[in-house]
Chains A and B, each alone.
Chain A
Amino acid sequence: MDAVLRAAFIYFFLMIVIRISGHRTLTEMTTFDFVLILIMGDASQQAITGKDYSITNAVIIITTLVLIDIGLSFVKYKSKFLERLLDGSPLILINNGKLEKKMMEKTKVDESDILEAARELQGLGRLDQIKYAILEKDGQITIIPK
C-alpha cells in the first residue's frame, strides 16, 4: 500500500515543484537545471522505492505513476480550469510586433531567447520581423512572422 501512496505523493510533489519553477525549466535547460533534474530523479527514486527492490514493487510504482498520468490527462480533458491549473496556458511575449516586457520579466524570457527561437524556427534575424511570439505550455517559444 505504501508504494502506491509514496509514488503518488512524489508525483504530485514534483508536479507542483516543476509547475512553480516556471515554463522554462522544461525546455531551456542550463547545466545547473540538468544537475538539478538528476539530483531530483535520484532523490525521488529513493523516496519511492525505499529499501524494496522487488519486481512487485517496481510494477506497483510504474502502474501507479502511469495510472495517475492517464487520470490527470482525463481530468484535464474534462475541465479546462484544471488543465490551466496543471499545465498553465500559452503566454504572449510579442503582441502584434510589440514586446510585452512585463510578461517577459515574469516568465524570465529575454529578447535573445525570442531571437533564438525566431532564427531556429523561422529563419528570422530581427525582432521587427516577428508579429507574435508565444511561450507555449511546454516551454517552447512559437514565432509567427509578420
Chain B
Amino acid sequence: MSIKKIDGLEIEEEAIKKNQPEWPFQRVGIIVMAIIVAAALLGLLGLGVFGKSIVSDKNKILTVHYEIFNRSHNLTLVRVEINASSLPPTAKIIPIWFNQSYLDKSVIENIHPKPAFEEINANKLIFYFPVKTPKSNISINFWIEPQQAGIRYGEIGILDGPTLTFKQVVYP
C-alpha cells in the first residue's frame, strides 16, 4: 500500500480517493437489510399478520386457520373449525386426524379442548373430541412446534369426511 504526502500529511493513497470500492456494496447491503425488515413487518418471515391463511373444503364443513410462515422451535397455531350444522344431531364424538408425516417433524405442545383419546391409524394420528349438543361452530386449537426448517405439507381431516391440505414454510 503506497503512502502519499499531502501538505505535510503522510497518509495511505486509498484515503484520498473519492470513491471507495466497498461503498456500492454498502448501498446494496442497506437495501437488502431494508427488504428483510419490510418482509419481517409484513409477516413473511413468520409470526405476522400477512403470514396467516385459511383453507376450507367446498361445503365449508371443515376450515383450517394456519400460519404459512413459521420458525423452527416456535409455537404455531393451527385452528380447526367444524361447521356444527354439518354434523348429525346424534354425533357424540368428532374424529379429527393429521397426517403422520406432518407430525413427524413437529411436536404438538397443546390441544384445546383436550381430546378424549388418540389413535394411530395407518398414516394418520386421530384425535377424538367429545361433543354434547353441537349447535354453534366447533373450534379446536392445536399448538404445534416445528422441529425442522423447510417446507412441509399438512393434511387435516374429519374421519370419513372432508380432507384439507396446507403448506407451511419453516424458517431456521
Q: Which residues of A contact B (CB under 8 A)?
A: 1-4, 51-57, 59-60, 63-64, 66-67, 70
A-B pairs with beta carbons under 8 Å apart, 22 shown: A1-B41, A1-B47, A1-B48, A2-B47, A3-B40, A3-B47, A4-B41, A52-B47, A54-B46, A54-B71, A54-B72, A54-B74, A54-B171, A55-B171, A59-B36, A60-B37, A63-B33, A63-B36, A63-B40, A64-B37, A67-B37, A70-B33
Given A54-B74, A54-B171, A54-B172, is A63 in contact with B37 using a C-beta cutoff of 8 Å?
Answer: yes
Give the shortest distance, in Å, between A110 (CB) and chain B (any CB).
37
Q: A1-B40, A51-B74, A60-B36 are in contact. List 12 more A-B contacts (CB 8 A).
A: A1-B41, A1-B48, A1-B49, A2-B47, A4-B41, A52-B47, A55-B172, A56-B172, A57-B71, A63-B33, A64-B40, A67-B34
- Separation of A5 and B71 alpha carbons in the complex (Å): 18
CB-defined contacts of A4 to chain B, threshold 8 Å: 37, 40-41
For chain B, the count of residues having a C-beta within 8 Å of the partner chain is: 20
Taking a contact as CB atoms under 8 Å apart, the answer to whether B45 and A56 are in contact is: yes
Give the shortest distance, in Å, between B51 (CB) and chain A (any CB).
9
| Interface of A, helix, strand, loop or mixed by DSSP | helix
- Separation of A56 and B40 alpha carbons in the complex (Å): 10
CB-defined contacts of B73 to chain A, threshold 8 Å: 53-54
5 nearest A-B pairs in the assembled complex, by CB-CB distance: A54-B71, A56-B171, A1-B48, A60-B40, A55-B172
Give the shortest distance, in Å, between A3 (CB) and chain B (any CB).
6
- Separation of A54 and B172 alpha carbons in the complex (Å): 6
- Separation of A24 and B171 alpha carbons in the complex (Å): 43
Q: Identify which of B30, B34, B48, B74 contacts A52 (C-beta below 8 A).
A: B74
Give the shortest distance, in Å, between A31 (CB) and chain B (any CB).
37
